[in-house]
Structure 1
Amino acid sequence: MLAIIGGSGLSRLSTLDIVRREVFRTPYGEPSGPIVFGRLCEGPVMFLARHGFGHTIPPHMVNYRANLWALREAGASGVLSVASVGGIRADLVPGSLVVPHQILDYTWGRLHTFFDRNDEAVHHIDFTHPYDEALRRRILACAERAGEPMRDGAVYAATQGPRLETAAEIDRLERDGADVVGMTGMPEAALAREIQLPYAAINVVANYGAGRGDSAGGIAFESIEDVLHDAMARVRKVLEHICA
C-alpha cells in the first residue's frame, strides 16, 4: 500500500474515501498525527500530514523518524512525499510540478538516522541516488495519463528553516547546483532508505526563491496560498491516477 506524506498545502486528501484513522506509537516518539487509511479512486492508500492536521509542526521539529517508522509498521510499500518548494531554476516558475532526482542537504541538528545506538555496529547506506527510480517513473507516467505537466528531474536543496532564505543564500544554492529549495526533504529521504522504503517526491513550486522573479523584493506570502490551492488540485489528480 502506498503511503502519501502531505506537506504545506496538502494537510488532507479531500477525495480520499476514509476507512479508518490509527494512532501509532514508535520507539522514536509520536508521529505528526494519526495515519489515515482509505481508498483513492478504488486504490488503497495511507496518508500522513507531515506538519500535523493543523499545520502546527515546523520543518525543523517534525519527528521524521517516528513518521517513517510508523508508515513502515502500518504496511507501507513505498512513500510518496508532496512538498512545496521555492523555484531557483529559471523554468521552474510558481505553479510548476517537478519530480526531483537529487538532494543537497543543508540541514543541521535534526535526528537524521535510525543507526545511532552505541551498542550497534556502524551502518552505512548507499545514497548515490536518493529517490527510488521506479517510483519516480510511476509518478511521471501517471502525471502524463492525468494530463498534468510535470518536470522530470531537479536538485532539491534542503534548508533548515523555518525562516526562508536570503537572496545571497539562493545565489549560493544555485552555484551549488540546486534547482529548488525546501525544508523537509531531509532527513526524510535518508530515513526511508535506511528502513528500505522506496521513496520519491512531487515538488510543487509555490514561489520564486528569494531575489528571483516577483520575489526580488521579498516573498509575497499572500500569493503563495493561491498558487498552492491551484497546484495541489492538479497534484490530487495525479495521485488519483497513481492509486487507481
Structure 2
Amino acid sequence: MADIKIGIIGGSGLYKMDALQDIEEITVETPFGAPSDRLISGTLDGTPVVFLPRHGRHHHLLPTELPFQANIYALKSLGVAYIISASAVGSLQGHIKPVDMVIPDQFIDRTRHRTDTFFGDGIVAHIAFGDPICPQLAKILGDAVASLNLEGVDLHQGGTYVCMEGPAFSTKAESNLYRGWDASIIGMTNLQEAKLAREAEIAYATLALVTDYDCWHPDHDSVTVEMVIGNLHKNATNAQKVIRAVVEKLAANPPQSPAHDALKYAILTPLDQVPASTKEKLALLLNKYL
C-alpha cells in the first residue's frame, strides 16, 4: 500500500467521513496493541486519507481507555505525516459559544492515568513540546474554516486546551480554576495524541468543536442532553466540510513541519546501547536515525 500522508482522527459525534470514496478497512497490529478500531482508508476529492474513530465507531472506549500509542503508531505505519484531530470540547470562556470552532495552540495536562510516550525500556528521548501544535498545519486549518463561512460558527485561532482525565466532567471549582488560568476549552483526549504524534514526527493540529459551556457558566444546568447531541451533529457536519477543505489545501502544498524532525536531537541514549527488543519495537520511529 502506498503511503497515506494525511490522517484524520474523529472524536465524539464524528465516527465516519461521508464524502470518503474508494473505502478500504485496514486492520493494523502494532507493538502497542490494537488501535481504537479498524482504520478506514479512502480518498477525499481524489486525495488519499486515512480515518480513525478515536473512541471506536460505536463509541465504546472511555478517554482513559484509548490506546493512544497504538493509534498514532498505526497511522505512522501507513505513512501519515499530518494528523487533523477533530474533538468535542466544552467552552471555558463566554465569547467561545456552542458550535464555534477553536484551533488551540497550547495544552494543560490534567490527566493522571495515561501513557503518553513511546520511549522507555532502555531508550530515553525528550522531545521539544513548548509549541505542541504544528503552526503550519494550524494555519491551514484556520484558513480552511475561514474560507467556508459556516453559519453561526465563529473561529477562534489559538487558545489553551485543558486535557482532563474524565470520564466525569469538572466540578465548578475546577472549571473556575481553569478559567482563572485563562484556558479556552476543555476536553479529554488531545494532549496524549499531540505528544505521541510529536515523538512519531507527525505534524498535529486540533479542530476543537464546542458542544456547550463547561459547568462554570450560570446557564449550564439548563443544558439538556438533546441540546448537546444536537450540537454534536451540527459540529460533525461542519467538521467534515472543514476537513475536506484542509485536505485539498494540504494536498496542493504540504508544508515541512518542525515536527517532521522532532527526534533529531531528542534521543539521549546511544542507539548502539539500546536493547535489541526495544529497537525492534520502535523500528518505525528509529530507523531514520540508525
Counterpart in 1 of 2:95? 91
User: Which residue of 2 is the match for residue 133 of structure 1?
Assistant: 135
User: Which of the pair has more CA radius of gyration?
Assistant: 2
Residue among 111, 114, 118 paired with 2:118: 114
Distance 1:3 1:158 in 2: 21
Comparing 142-151 and 17-26, the one that deviates more: 142-151
* Deviating more after overlay: 78-87 vs 204-213: 204-213
Q: Which amino acid aligns with 1:82?
A: A
Partner of 1:172 in structure 2?
177
Are the aligned partners of 2:81 and 2:201 in contact in 1 as well (CA < 8 Å)?
no
Classify the secondary structure of the residue corresponding to 2:219: helix
Higher helix residue share: 2
Match of 2:160 among 151, 155, 175: 155
In the alignment, which residue of structure 2 is the partner of 1:202?
207
- Alpha-carbon RMSD across the aligned residues, in angstroms, is 1.2
Q: Deviations over 1:139-187 (max 9, x none)?
A: 1111222223422011000000011111111001111221100000121
Q: Deviations over 1:63-93 (max 9, x none)?
A: 0000000000011121110000000011111
Equivalent pair of 1:87/1:94 in contact (CA under 8 Å): yes
**AA of the residue aligned to 2:127:** I
Long gaps (5+) in structure 2:
249-290
**Identical aligned residues as a percent:** 31
Structure 1 residue identity aligned to 2:139:
R
Pairing partner for 1:181 from 183, 186, 191: 186
- Asked if the contact 1:18/1:36 (under 8 Å) is kept, the reply is no
**Structure 1 residue 218: deviation in Å?**
6.4
- Give SS of 1:130's match: coil
Per-residue deviation, 1:14 = 1.4
TM-score normalized by the length of structure 2: 0.80
AA aligned to 1:130 is: P
5+ unaligned residues in a row in structure 1: which ranges? none
Check if 1:234 corresponds to 2:259: no
TM-score, with length taken from structure 1: 0.95
